[in-house]
Structure 1
């Protein structure tokens, strides 16, 4: 009499089916449909681990939620805005971007803001918005971040998208401190303008219709120079940095993709940091 064959994972279950790869016996609960026959869970896991991961057009890893970073950025901005509503103007004063010193020779020579060593402001200022009702400042910025940031994150992948956003924010801060260091500047629009520029570069790389992005960019530029209290300095710095980083991301040769992409991002980031330092030295000297 033939000996009963049992599933290798469930010894109490007889089966006549074997994995087409390793030939181990598998029961109906364990068998997974393959292109030919059935495979066991272990072979399926091994096959998935060895398979190449899908990549974005810029070489990033395709993820299940391609908008995750954009959602996190929006959540952070909203959280800071709620903190402003609870804490009042002090939040804006403590996190906004400015670098000022009273001229030497005054009875009290004092430096405040970034000029006093509060370098965190070059990033935190990008998460602070005007505390108004209706909250048009944060509303327009978050809508722009969702409309542009989401699709751009899908094209770049998470890490490259974060690089564009952070570098654009640093460059926006540098532009502000170089041109108007005594004005407390807040808002995510400098970094978002970097996303506008990066998205335009990616659309050009893919030979896609660019009219939509140009219309949005033109409207934002119009509002930049017609609305009161809008920092064109931050918009300019963010836009230039976003375009520069995206060119390296989109047009890097495949055989040196990582080196060129991250080298470009690092180079623009270092330049932005240096310009921030130069701006503060000018204020304090």
Structure 2
């Protein structure tokens, strides 16, 4: 038996009563997030991967960076995701880590753990897919920038949905896009691909009808994933033809 406000209740009665209790949800569905564990976990993985890059003399970069030829010829599709956890310099990882630290917790609390990591990974994949179409097949690309640009787009969409002032976010995005195209050695495909993917996903999740929110959000995530897979299959066929 368990103590109750008045008298005692059997464990079975407590369990049955809990089924009727409405659990708190985040702004756009999902469980309420008190601590953004996913954001901290991704930050930790990025830092650990960078340490391994340094210790192995960049061998990990070669083996797991985004390389169009490796994906098409050797079927190394994992590179499209693993590249997002690697970085080319101390400045590179510091910038992406700081950006994730700023916007990650807000988005994780808005969407919940699962939808947030889906947003992050699909944005990273979107950047790699655009690179798969337009990058030089010999180029090796690394960085979480595609995922970060996806988060930038998402925080803009969420702010608009909640009627916040998003002019600062818009300026931030524009400045980073200018840097992308002005300075050499930056993957514009990764940034643009992540930005577009993040915007589409965030809009679908933020504006999902409340009555069928979970279904709509799930279908949106699945639909974007399948669209990206289709683009990869088509591009592979073109490269190998």
Relative to the length of structure 1, the TM-score reads 0.78
CA contact (8 A) 1:96 1:184 kept: yes
Cα 1:199–1:48 change in 2 (3 A) is: same
2:77 corresponds to which residue?
119
Structure ranking higher on relative contact order (CA contacts 8 Å, 6+ apart): 2
Q: Deviations over 1:1-43 (max 9, x none)?
A: xxxxxxx78xxxxxxxx9543x24xxxxxxxxxxxxxxx8969
1:139 corresponds to which residue?
94
| Among candidates 217, 223, 226, match of residue 182 of structure 2 | 226
1: CA distance between counterparts of 2:170 and 2:38?
A: 24
SS of equivalent residue, structure 1 residue 275: helix
> Quick check: which has more Rg, 1 or 2?
1
Shift, 1:128, TM fit = 0.8
1:63 corresponds to which residue?
33
CA contact (8 A) 1:173 1:276 kept: no
Q: Deviations over 1:113-169 (max 9, x none)?
A: 443111110100101101x4xx10000011011111111111111111111111111
- Structure 1, unmatched stretches of 5+, are 1-7, 10-17, 25-39, 101-111
| Among candidates 197, 204, 229, match of residue 160 of structure 2 | 204
CA contact (8 A) 1:165 1:191 kept: yes
CA contact (8 A) 1:169 1:238 kept: yes
1: CA distance between counterparts of 2:114 and 2:78?
A: 21
Shift, 1:49, TM fit = 6.1
CA contact (8 A) 1:174 1:279 kept: no
1: CA distance between counterparts of 2:4 and 2:209?
A: 42
Cα 1:84–1:42 change in 2 (3 A) is: same
CA contact (8 A) 1:126 1:186 kept: yes
CA contact (8 A) 2:33 2:108 kept: no
CA contact (8 A) 1:99 1:116 kept: no
- Structure 2, unmatched stretches of 5+, are none
| Among candidates 115, 133, 148, match of residue 160 of structure 1 | 115
The correspondence of residues 47-196 of structure 1 with structure 2, limited to 5 A, is 50-65=20-35, 67-100=36-69, 112-130=70-88, 132=89, 135-180=90-135, 181-196=137-152
The answer to which structure has the higher helix fraction is 2
Number of matched pairs: 239
CA contact (8 A) 2:72 2:240 kept: no
Cα 1:19–1:71 change in 2 (3 A) is: closer
SS of equivalent residue, structure 2 residue 66: coil
CA contact (8 A) 2:72 2:239 kept: no
Shift, 1:170, TM fit = 1.3
Relative to the length of structure 2, the TM-score reads 0.91
2:215 corresponds to which residue?
259
Q: Deviations over 1:166-190 (max 9, x none)?
A: 1111111110010013311110000
2: CA distance between counterparts of 1:20 and 1:165?
A: 44
Q: Deviations over 1:184-219 (max 9, x none)?
A: 111000011111111111111100110221122122
Q: What is the aligned-residue RMSD (CA, Å)?
A: 2.2
1: CA distance between counterparts of 2:82 and 2:93?
A: 15
